[in-house]
Amino acid sequence: MDPKYEPLFTPWKVGDVEIKNRIVMLPMEGTNMIQWEAKTGFVKGIGEFYRDRRDQNVGLFIPGLIPLVSIVGEKWVYKHPEVFEPVKPIIREIHESGAKIFFQISAGSGRSMLLPPLLRPFVEKKALKAASGRVIMTKWWWSAPDPDEPNVWAPAVKMDHFTSEMISRFVYAFGQTALRCKEAGVDGVEVHAVHEGYLLDQFAMRYTNHRPDCYGGSLENRLRFACEVVREIKKVCGEDFPVSLRYSVCSMTRGFNQGAVPGETFTEVGRDMEESEKAVRILEEAGYDLFNCDNGTYDAWYWSHPPVYAPLNLNLSYVEHIKNFTTKPVVCAGRLQPGAAAESIAAGRIDAMGVGRQLLCDPEYVTKIREDRLADIRPCIACHGACLPFNGLNGEGTDIDPMHVEMGRCVLNPWTNNETKYRKDPAAKPKRIAVVGGGIAGMETAIQARLRGHTVDLYEKTGRLGGVFNAAAAMSFKEKDRELLAWYQRRLEASGAAVHLNAEVTDPKALAADIVVVAIGASARMLRVPGAERAVTATAFLNGEAEAGDKVVIVGGGLTGCEIAYELALQGKHPSVVEMTKFLVGARGICMANSSMLRELLRFHEVPAYLESTVEAVTEDGVVLRTPAGEKTVPADTVIVSVGYDPDTRFAPKKEKGLPWKKKEETGPAMYFIGDCDRVGSLKTVVKQAYELVQKISYPKK
């Protein structure tokens, strides 16, 4: 082991519980051991998820939260001890690995409740039951400290009042639920939370709590609910039973659905550092044994779930500061890198490193650090494309359908939370596979095919692997994307696939193979207006084929267009964005943590956005726009077009363009088209298509 990482692998204590090292696997959506409204109370496949990680040198596991009461039907989990039975074997296996486990328990979301669209009309009318009389949503789940608080995801929905009688019931339920957890064999519990703007945090903060009773007003009153919870747990489970608190050091919130960005001077409406210094002392005195820390609220969600635009080690300085005000250990989370964590632990500035989505991306992450195999780590790129794909437009609209959202999965590692769906054993009948195209889709196909025992030749027409992802990774804040490209190239080389660079294929059917996988990508669209030839594509700009002047107009306010605007602003240039819809970064499938941070960064850098506007012409002086207010010319030295891509269908029979998984030829090698040449998608669709195609080839249904 590199000596600089040794502090990560020293023991520490939470209360009387000794933990073998300083790595804490954080609670995440989709990692819940108990989704107890299901018939069995046990999430299908979650045992395999934890078996993949139990022997990988994690010190403390904290699975995803357990709600005290069901969303539907008002069922209290402590009244159903049977739902804890199926998880006991997994708890024992985790203990056998030498690790410890805390269960996280939660009072719910309050105004941060994610409301299924079909239920919003009922909630807006404060109706608890459908016409049939069946309970459709438990009242607790759409109640907040203050009546008529706007819901984060659907501001038209006003929350109901969380009464003092409800508080009493919840305090009791926390104690009883913690007891059920203790009886199941866990080593402690974590209370969720004075954190991220969930219900207990809404009680704790000034801008969401204006109650006139003993749970409002002073800081002590606003923390009373959280303090009563830990006292009840200690009373029921014993003073020596550890209780952790998920804790946001600072709220980083400017107002409702308004977050601050790193480096911004702003007026905090939630918990600032001065108040946090006092709060952590009050909470410690109440009985909490551990503070599991980051920053943020749902109004500034990207501090709790940092996307690619967030600096590495985003929350570290805040957590280091708050440790000076408590005698209890603190955990830090938020794109925390192992070197920075180890240095801080060695200096006594934090006690442990919180790791979340990186362990979805690579279950062996900690083991690879310990064994000096850092180059083998599949890097998390903070895309949130499968682990947290909740869309939202921060109070201006939403495109959320939580009934069809995958959580706790990984764009780069489809195996995660699909352990019972996919296989990894060798193919019974290995094939000769030719892959045409060396982008992410082609490389993923080649790597997975080799792992299953197939013979693979990969053909790339240029001298560089990576395809369009090279352009995507070019921006200064995409260091993890560049690490991913290097990781793919190393994995491809180690796989034993034969890689042919500068080898353009003109006739895939002529390749000596049983199967040909075509993954040749897509081509950028251009404007069809007068003067369009003066513009350059986003790909050309990002690949260094065109330089940008000082004043730059980006046509297209989707993800790539806004990322380019942010990159140019960081360079000190003066970009502006033209978007034909009402929203920037409004496409389906982009997590709100990512889209809202990008929009806030453009606000902070004062990047003009022309919404509901279209380009009429590109001239020597700039861009002529048709806006809601009429025609307008925006001066520009450079015009960059980012309006999407069209699949490269040169090898696909016209009658079958765009049909995924369709075998295109009845004679010669079987041909499959994946990635953007099949249908333009995202990194998630590209990797998943490649992964599932190899599954299909390797394990054909009988």
pLDDT digits (tens, 9 = 90+) for 648-674: 999 987 644 444 545 444 578 999 999
Looking at residue 638, the DSSP 8-state letter turns out to be E
Domain with residue 436: its CATH number is: 3.40.50.720
Considering the domain boundaries, does residue 498 fall inside one? yes
Per-residue pLDDT band for 70 (boundaries 50, 70, 90) equals: confident
Residues 270 and 351 in one domain: yes
What CA–CA distance (Å, rounded) separates 591 from 587? 10
Per-residue pLDDT band for 129 (boundaries 50, 70, 90) equals: low
Beta-carbon contacts of 212 under 8 Å, excluding residues fewer than 6 positions away, are none
Considering the domain boundaries, does residue 423 fall inside one? no
Considering the domain boundaries, does residue 613 fall inside one? yes
pLDDT of residue 668: 82
Please state the φ and ψ torsions of residue 422, each to the nearest 5 degrees: -105, 170
Average pLDDT of every residue of the chain:
92
Boundaries of domain holding 333: 3-404
Per-residue pLDDT band for 127 (boundaries 50, 70, 90) equals: low
What CA–CA distance (Å, rounded) separates 202 from 182? 28
Task: Among 23-27, 278-282, 390-394, name the one with the lowest average pLDDT.
Answer: 390-394
Q: By percentage, how much of the chain surpasses pLDDT 70?
A: 92
Pairing of strands 258-259, 609-610: unpaired
Residues 354 and 491 in one domain: no
Residues 600 and 684 in one domain: no
**Confidence check: pLDDT of 136 > 70:** no
Measured CA distances, 58 to 184, 241, 365 (Å) = 20, 21, 9
Considering the domain boundaries, does residue 422 fall inside one? no
Beta-carbon contacts of 692 under 8 Å, excluding residues fewer than 6 positions away, are 414
Instruction: Compute the average pLDDT of residues 393-417.
Output: 69
Q: Which of 351, 386, 404 is the last residue of a domain?
A: 404
The DSSP string of 234-253 is HHHH-TTS-EEEEEES---E
Per-residue pLDDT band for 74 (boundaries 50, 70, 90) equals: confident
Q: By percentage, how much of the chain surpasses pLDDT 90?
A: 83
Tokens representing 16? 């009387």
Per-residue pLDDT band for 34 (boundaries 50, 70, 90) equals: confident
Q: Are 410 and 416 in contact (CB under 8 A)?
A: yes
459 is catalytic: no
Torsion, CA 670, CA 675, CA 676, CA 681, rounded to 10: 140
Residues 532 and 654 in one domain: no
Task: Among 293-297, 579-583, 638-642, name the one with the lowest average pLDDT.
Answer: 579-583
Beta-carbon contacts of 296 under 8 Å, excluding residues fewer than 6 positions away, are 196, 197, 248, 251, 252, 253, 259, 302, 303, 304, 305
At residue 503, the 3 state secondary structure works out as coil
pLDDT of residue 155: 84
Domain with residue 224: its CATH number is: 3.20.20.70
**Confidence check: pLDDT of 536 > 50:** yes
Q: Are 408 and 400 in contact (CB under 8 A)?
A: no
Tokens 């990207």 correspond to: 302
- In terms of residues, how long is the chain? 702
Closest Cα to residue 434, out of 534, 519, 551? 519
- Overall domain count for the chain: 3
Considering the domain boundaries, does residue 273 fall inside one? yes
Tokens 């682990």 correspond to: 387
Residues 155 and 70 in one domain: yes
Instruction: Compute the average pLDDT of residues 314-340.
Output: 98
Q: What is the pLDDT of residues 172-198, one digit of tens each?
A: 999 999 999 999 999 999 999 899 999
> What does the buried/exposed string (b/e) look like for 127-165 if buried means 16 or more CB atoms within 10 Å of the residue's CB?
ebeeeeeeebbbbbbbbbbbeebbbbbbbebbbbebeee
Residues 594 and 672 in one domain: no
Q: What is the pLDDT of residues 205-243, one digit of tens each?
A: 999 999 999 999 999 999 999 999 999 999 999 999 999
Tokens representing 194? 């004075």
422 membership: H or E segment, kind and range: none
Per-residue pLDDT band for 403 (boundaries 50, 70, 90) equals: very low
Beta-carbon contacts of 463 under 8 Å, excluding residues fewer than 6 positions away, are 501, 502
Q: Which of 50, 198, 247, 610 is catalytic?
A: 198
Residues 596 and 499 in one domain: no
Residues 442 and 302 in one domain: no
Closest Cα to residue 123, out of 102, 98, 154, 146? 154
Residues 260 and 198 in one domain: yes
Please state the φ and ψ torsions of residue 608, each to the nearest 5 degrees: -65, 145
Residues 242 and 296 in one domain: yes
Considering the domain boundaries, does residue 476 fall inside one? yes
**Confidence check: pLDDT of 402 > 80:** no
Considering the domain boundaries, does residue 424 fall inside one? no
What CA–CA distance (Å, rounded) separates 579 from 361? 33
Q: Are 445 and 678 in contact (CB under 8 A)?
A: no
pLDDT of residue 158: 87
Q: Are 593 and 384 in contact (CB under 8 A)?
A: yes
Looking at residue 190, its amino acid is E
Q: What is the pLDDT of residues 293-311, one digit of tens each?
A: 999 999 999 999 999 999 9
Considering the domain boundaries, does residue 222 fall inside one? yes
Please state the φ and ψ torsions of residue 91, each to the nearest 5 degrees: -60, -45
**Confidence check: pLDDT of 124 > 50:** yes
Question: Residue 657 burial by CB count (10 A; 0-12/13-18/19+): exposed, middle or buried?
Answer: middle
Q: Are 271 and 204 in contact (CB under 8 A)?
A: yes
Residues 210 and 269 in one domain: yes
pLDDT of residue 193: 83
Q: Are 317 and 334 in contact (CB under 8 A)?
A: no
Q: Which of 643, 672, 688 is the last residue of a domain?
A: 643
At residue 645, the 3 state secondary structure works out as strand
Domain with residue 532: its CATH number is: 3.50.50.60
**Confidence check: pLDDT of 404 > 80:** no
Residues 201 and 328 in one domain: yes
Tokens 């920053």 correspond to: 295
What CA–CA distance (Å, rounded) separates 588 from 402? 13
Beta-carbon contacts of 22 under 8 Å, excluding residues fewer than 6 positions away, are 7, 8, 9, 10, 12, 59, 341, 345, 351, 352, 353
Tokens representing 159? 């929350």
Q: Are 246 and 292 in contact (CB under 8 A)?
A: yes
pLDDT of residue 131: 56
Tokens representing 389? 């794909």
**Confidence check: pLDDT of 479 > 80:** yes
